[in-house]
Structure 1
């Protein structure tokens, strides 16, 4: 049985920087439980109003808990993050923050919604009078490893090494794969979300404090992991709805991360081709065709500039028994 380690709320930092010393050192395969504040770093509370948004200290947003040094991780490896559980607070918030969001020029005024989360039944009322409720699918918006380049990098955008990927499918039961660029990987996590749509178009989800438990495993057999990859949970409401069969499907996803949305999209497809070549010995032409007839492109994150996260998602059922 792997030991369980813990990282406290106070063990946090505000930049991706490989010079930040780890808060704990663990063997590969161990589990870690993180206690995290919401993306506002506690600046927004259940009693906050839209006026609170005008006094936000932006340099304190999107803090990270960690980093965790995983023994045996070296540049060129892959860190596998198995999401074991995500437990949110019983409240959350969604805001229109001036200057943020896909339509920030059309919605310049601050707005704030405080949610009551029904954790037992896993929903929250958006508008009870109109009968509109949102299913809770909690996940961590920030998951990443330290970049190989020296210096401090903002926690706001996503990167090839992860970061603010804001990808709703990486919930409990899913596995995330990140390319390691420094010794020990230096994994950090934060930005609890109770629910979010693909893209996070207004710039916030249902933001909430969270306690999340993950297993961190070093992989030496995935040289094709150059950007975040993930596999969705086998069952449950957090998976993508399979339009072909009408039920819940399990997907493997590769991503492209780039400041140019077309290049991010091209990267997602190219990375899926590389995955299929390596894992299933498909030639590049066949892999490209399979992406076209069975893969789904998704906009996972489109507001945390300067980078976009685009995913190519392929149902794992297509590949059962196909591994050479």
Structure 2
């Protein structure tokens, strides 16, 4: 197993443009430590988020991890085996001019700025919750559901993007389904793919409306596999896709939100059409009648949406993405 636990000065705040932090073989298990989005520096309700983690020094990432043998154009499967909170606490905030109910530079208004607030949440694995207290002592609790807000590979065309951005390369997707047992598919834009991981969330509602999740440091075990570019199932992967035991999920990115929805629906229709040998209009009808749509985030530079379809609805139960998820889920070696 390759273990990657960066020193504080080794975390990345961009996706792309950096030399490898580490190198790993496709198929081996990798253990990765990731910091919370405030670099572990926001530890009390009296803390000042924008002082301890001023933009763009926010959302540190572990990476890039070079995957040996991956070619530009190949599709990389990143399977999250296990996600374990690295600390017994997480943190969430409200900040001025940030969040779905605040005016921003792109959508200004004349209402007073939202005041800055910080909540420290305790992790309670025994009850499967995270808990916090309000300023007047009331307890709040939500389910403990660890996932990664950010998983990505180096962008195309030599671009360097901030760690706050989602796009076709993955990045800051904030999709709660990206937890243990899920496989994420991304097209490699450079040799070695250059994988980044971070933004651990202990809990988050759909939309991340307040601007942050319950942010926390994480220890993650993952495995990877590769689908060669020339493989039929790899040819249409131009936006992130995910697979669980029960669903296939297409992710759309865009702004306004309706553009992100269209990207996701279009991607899922193409995926179903190719996998099930259905005419595009028939695949469109199946997706339209059987899908579920969830907002990932409504606060980042671009918004994200996931649109899913149960595998049980796919005609003849086809093999999805050459069976990579099933093989990774079984923890068997998957060669490049």
Give the TM-score range, shorter chain: 0.7 to 0.9
Alpha-carbon distance, 1:192 to partner: 0.9
When residues 228 and 168 of structure 1 are mapped into structure 2, their CA distance, relative to the original with a 3 A threshold, is same
Note the aligned Cα RMSD (angstroms).
2.0
Aligned mates of 2:52, 2:66 — CA distance in 1 = 35
1:230 equivalent in structure 2: 242
Aligned mates of 1:263, 1:124 — CA distance in 2 = 34
Is 1:112 aligned with 2:118? Answer: yes
2:252 equivalent in structure 1: 256
Q: Secondary structure at the match of 1:60?
A: coil
What is the CA deviation profile of residues 277-309 of structure 1, one whole-angstrom value per residue up to 9, with x for unaligned ones? 21111110100000111011221122111x111
Matches within 5 A, 1:256-275: 256-275=252-271
Is 1:152 aligned with 2:160? Answer: yes
- TM-score normalised to structure 2 length: 0.84
2:328 equivalent in structure 1: none
CA contact (8 A) 1:50 1:110 kept: no
Question: Structure 2 residue aligned with 1:75, among 72, 75, 93?
Answer: 72
Is 1:278 aligned with 2:292? Answer: no
When residues 147 and 103 of structure 1 are mapped into structure 2, their CA distance, relative to the original with a 3 A threshold, is same
Aligned mates of 1:260, 1:131 — CA distance in 2 = 36
What is the CA deviation profile of residues 67-88 of structure 1, one whole-angstrom value per residue up to 9, with x for unaligned ones? 1111221222111011011111
Alpha-carbon distance, 1:53 to partner: 4.3
Aligned mates of 1:177, 1:267 — CA distance in 2 = 16
CA contact (8 A) 1:87 1:210 kept: yes
Aligned mates of 1:59, 1:155 — CA distance in 2 = 8
1:198 equivalent in structure 2: 206
What is the CA deviation profile of residues 158-187 of structure 1, one whole-angstrom value per residue up to 9, with x for unaligned ones? 111100001111111111111111111000
Q: Secondary structure at the match of 2:160?
A: coil
Aligned mates of 1:115, 1:53 — CA distance in 2 = 19
Aligned mates of 2:317, 2:49 — CA distance in 1 = 54
Q: Secondary structure at the match of 2:32?
A: strand
Alpha-carbon distance, 1:130 to partner: 6.4
Is 1:59 aligned with 2:67? Answer: no
Alpha-carbon distance, 1:127 to partner: 5.5
Alpha-carbon distance, 1:132 to partner: 4.7
Aligned mates of 2:32, 2:178 — CA distance in 1 = 16
Q: Secondary structure at the match of 1:271?
A: helix
CA contact (8 A) 1:90 1:119 kept: no
Where do 5+ consecutive residues of structure 2 fail to align?
104-110, 320-336
Where do 5+ consecutive residues of structure 1 fail to align?
235-249
